[in-house]
Amino acid sequence: MTNKFYMPTRVIIGDDCITKNSELFIFLGKKALIVTGAQSAKRNGSEKDVKTALESVGINYLVFDKVMSNPTIACVYEGATLAKENGVDFIIAIGGGSPMDAGKAIALLAAQDIEEENLFSGNYEKKVLPMAFVPTTAGTGSEVTQYSILTNDKAQTKTSIASDLLFPTVTFLDAKYTEQLAVTTTINTAIDALSHAVEGMLSVRASNVSDALAVASIRMIMNCVPDMLQALLAGSEVVFNLKQREQLLQASLMAGMVIAQTGTTVVHAMGYSLTYFKNIDHGRANGLLLGEYLKLVENVQPDLAGSILAAMNFSEADQFGELMNKLLGDKEEISSEEIKRYSKIAIQTKNIANSVVKPTEEELRTMYALSFVK
């Protein structure tokens, strides 16, 4: 089998890395559209730092701060129209997965006309606006992937635009923007990153290179787990110090680099329905399901499961399931009707073919059911 590794995004990491590297924006153009959510980028100081950097090198900008969580197709068309009307040269996305995923679609749609029915086709002209990304959560990895995941009401799920055009040009990682994230957000996003690393190892496209990044990512996240449990008990985010925030942000980056090569697998396919229909946070949805999928892999491919569990210092998948139960707390309810419906949707996704261990529709139903046992 042929493996490839492609990750063309320049990554800048460190304290005040945006304002210290403001000259990098000059290469992207003269006018920027800042794409972000309504509040967090203003609260955590990231938007201010970006504006300071742009002003220091004489770049004009405008702000599109209407990105909701799980952004819609209408939202990205609105952002792209704003970019076109104002002659914007490049996009700066600040935030978690939602603003970053929206930023990619806006960069694509601002550079070329794509009808809505062709948005997920993958057939585009080779034109996109340059992008600078500032992740302010540690989970999505969107800052180093070619995926833009949008809420697709027609398909009643989340659908991804996947194109090498969507790799950001540059990404800035400064962990101080994640310092005020609430405990549950910190945990849910960390579990999303963990799921990316684990699923990367469970993908048919896994390679030695992607596995090395995945194992490093898993170890870094697991090192922070004792403090996650303590933070849950204390009910306070101050348990995490800046060093740990840096570890989580870089673990998320590496897990993003993994899925840029491997794609995601069964867990994400199943999780999207939990988010779309039941409004369960994306990382939490993955965490609810990952333990049961690892148990299935353990039965079918014990060596593969063993190599993942070893990176976590576990010897069996049950231990991982117990840890997720502790981190996720009280579980939602799921009905047998919902299980049937979600399994039918998940079995049709390309994530199934992308998995080394391919469950049947019946196995998907069993995993959903067991994942919600209290």
Residue numbers of the site for Zn ion (CB under 5 A)? 192
What's the min distance (Å) between Cβ of 282 and Zn ion?
Answer: 6
d(CA 41, CA 88): 20
Which amino acid is present at 255? A
**In the complex, what is the shortest distance from the CB of residue 2 to Zn ion, in angstroms, rounded to a whole number?**
26
Q: Identify which of residues 101 and 192 has a Cβ nearer to Zn ion in the complex.
A: 192
| 272 vs 372 by CB, closer to Zn ion | 272
Q: Helix, strand, or coil here: 72?
A: strand
Least distance from Zn ion to the Cβ atom of residue 214, Å: 14
Q: Facing residues of 11 across strands?
A: 171
What type of residue sits at position 300?
V
What's the Cα-to-Cα distance from 190 to each of 194, 230, 294, 364, 370, rounded to whole Å?
6, 15, 18, 24, 22
Shortest distance, position 159 Cβ to Zn ion, whole Å: 14
Structure tokens, 96? 């978690």
- Complex with Zn ion: residue 192 or 363, whichever CB lies closer: 192
| Cβ proximity to Zn ion, 268 vs 365, nearer residue | 268
Q: Which 8-state DSSP code applies to residue 125?
A: -
Contact 184, 280 (CB under 8 A): no
Q: How many CB atoms lie within 10 A of CB 6?
A: 9
Q: How far is the CB of 323 from Zn ion (least distance, A)?
A: 19
Within 10 angstroms of residue 73's Cβ, the number of other Cβ atoms is 18
Nearest to 172 by CA among 351, 21, 362, 364: 21
For Zn ion, the closer of residues 158 and 245 by Cβ is 158
Whichever of 192 and 281 has its CB closer to Zn ion, that residue is 192
Q: CA–CA separation, 202 vs 129, rounded Å?
A: 33
* Closest distance to Zn ion from the beta carbon of 179 (Å): 22
Nearer to Zn ion, 199 or 298 (CB): 199
Could you tell me the smallest distance in angstroms from the CB atom of residue 270 to Zn ion?
Answer: 12
Query: What's the CA gap between 300 and 148, in Å, rounded?
Result: 32
Q: Which residue's Cβ lies closest to Zn ion?
A: 192
Q: Please choose, from the candidates 100, 101, 19, 28, the residue with its C-alpha nearest in 3D space to the C-alpha of residue 59.
A: 28
Work out the number of other CB atoms within 10 angstroms of the CB of residue 262. 24
What is the three-class DSSP state of 67?
A: coil
Nearer to Zn ion, 192 or 246 (CB): 192
CB of 60 to Zn ion, least distance (A): 34
